[in-house]
Amino acid sequence: MSINKQHTDYDAVVVGSGPNGLAAAITLQQRGLSVLLIEGKDQIGGGLRTEELTLPGYRHDVCSAIHPMAAASPFFETLPLGEHGLEWIYPELPAAHPFDDGTAASLQTSLVNTAVSLGVDRDAYLKLLQPLVKSWPGMAKDVLGPLSIPGRPLDMAAFGIKALQPATQLSKVFKTEAAKGLFAGMAAHSIQPLGNMATSAIALVLMANGHLKGWPIPKGGSQNIASALASYFTSMGGKIETGRYISKLEQLPSARAVLFDVTPKQLLGIAGHQFSNIYKWQLERYRYGMGVFKIDWALAEPIPFCALDVRRAGTVHIGGTLKEIVRTEAETAHGHHPEKPFVLLAQQSLFDATRAPEGRHTGWAYCHVPHGSRKDMTEIIEKQVERFAPGFRERILARHTFDTGKLQAYNTNYIGGDINGGIIDIRQLFTRPALRRSPYRTSAKGIYLCSSSTPPGGGVHGMCGYNAAQRVLKDIFKN
């Protein structure tokens, strides 16, 4: 394999067609380079795939489902994906959080309406979220990029003071269980104990962008995001090869730069012999986080949540109070399987009729489990849903499950069921995957990492790929 010889087959090769691999390929192709995108499976997409997992006519998102970070992404907002078949659907309520007394807190598109719905916590909610809603458009690239001198230092400082706090600490600004629970459900997207530093960051970003752009669903399934990105890429002259699994660097055509949408474990296996000893040492010590157990349902009817607002939400956070979520997330991180885990649930078919036969519905959910767990959580998850929606199990026609082993077999980036490409705690927030001037460069010239194992981490936003491609353009092509 020749990475940097003068005469090459391509300017750049990207390995892996998840959202970050696609973003990297698009960003380089936009600059007029010749780019080849290689995918090991027969279909592109990585975590962006939709299949009939249960019964004919029921289309389930295999991995990612709801896409607030796509709506928030500075990369996505520049692309004409509507011209390539992507249609976004916006649920009436982005998210809801039910409680045992039959009530629910909800994230509404309106900042003020959400604040008002929280009663005595109205002013606290506005004080916490209003500044970020106002400043986000101007600092999104800084938040979703590598550690650097920000373009808006005052806004970033104000955000950082809140974002770096543990969710258990920042939630103290609220008095009611409703507001605290709503915040805890958002923070639990970080997939780590809520007492960890910086767990407030994901909650703040998700909530602010719910008010700015909502939490959209791609019509027809998440596969259509990947298909639209690929269509745009090839319309500019980019080339895609599927069914070509790369296990060795020497299997690649020659190129001036190669970008890998993989995690450190795979990168070491493919190109470890090219790296310096210290870089290999850092990659070998890269830490993966909790896994997930995922389940899809074919349903005869919608999920009968007691709180009517929950029936209007695209995403539902099931876990009860802040105290309960804090306890169960900590237990999971320490290797246990709580009887009442936090469950993240999506009900796309309420808003997208293409997901199920007429009159029928789908359900999508996962709970966090210890890294590498093979425990079947089906009964536990369904009890949690039934807790807030009595009669739910009577509506189940069929189900499909993924434990962490099956998830990793389906997508090799999900090591031990970790869908974030490595834990995003304070130790790996900006130094993922290694402590370097640029987290996207490896120690081998011409070889780069563009996966969620680089800043800003997991989520369908494409910013890891975009940022890596920008680094390549500066380093290799002086662009």
Query: What is the fold of 10-54+64-85+218-287+421-475?
Result: FAD/NAD(P)-binding domain (3.50.50)
Per-residue pLDDT, averaged over 88-109, amounts to: 98
DSSP 441: B
Per-residue pLDDT, averaged over 290-294, amounts to: 98
Average pLDDT, the chain: 96
**Per-residue model confidence as pLDDT tens digits over 343-390:** 999 999 999 999 999 999 999 999 999 999 999 999 999 999 999 999
Q: CA-based angle 356:360:366, to the nearest 5?
A: 70
Per-residue pLDDT, averaged over 278-294, amounts to: 98
**DSSP letters spanning 349-378:** GGT-GGGSSTT-EEEEEEEEE-TT-----H
CA distance 477 to 479: 5
Domains of the chain, residue spans: 10-54+64-85+218-287+421-475, 88-217+290-410
CA distance 159 to 251: 45
- The lowest-confidence range among 55-59, 69-73, 233-237, 397-401 is 69-73
Q: Please state at what angle helix 122-143 crosses helix 153-163, rounded to 10 degrees.
A: 120
**Residue 180 in tokens:** 């605290």
Q: Give the per-residue pLDDT at 5.
A: 44
Per-residue pLDDT, averaged over 393-418, amounts to: 98
**Per-residue model confidence as pLDDT tens digits over 229-266:** 999 999 999 999 999 999 999 999 999 999 999 999 99
Per-residue pLDDT, averaged over 126-138, amounts to: 97
Reported as a pLDDT band with limits 50, 70 and 90, residue 91 is very high
Percent share of the chain, pLDDT over 70: 99
Is residue 3 predicted with pLDDT exceeding 60? Answer: no
CA distance 292 to 295: 10
* Contact by Cβ (8 Å): 14, 35: yes
Q: Give the per-residue pLDDT at 431.
A: 87
- The lowest-confidence range among 5-14, 129-138, 266-275, 420-429 is 5-14
3-state SS, one letter per residue, for 453-479: CCCCCCCCCCHHHHHHHHHHHHHCCCC
Query: What is the fold of 88-217+290-410?
Result: Polyamine Oxidase; Chain A, domain 2 (3.90.660)
**Per-residue model confidence as pLDDT tens digits over 310-347:** 999 999 999 999 999 999 999 999 999 999 999 999 99
Reported as a pLDDT band with limits 50, 70 and 90, residue 7 is low
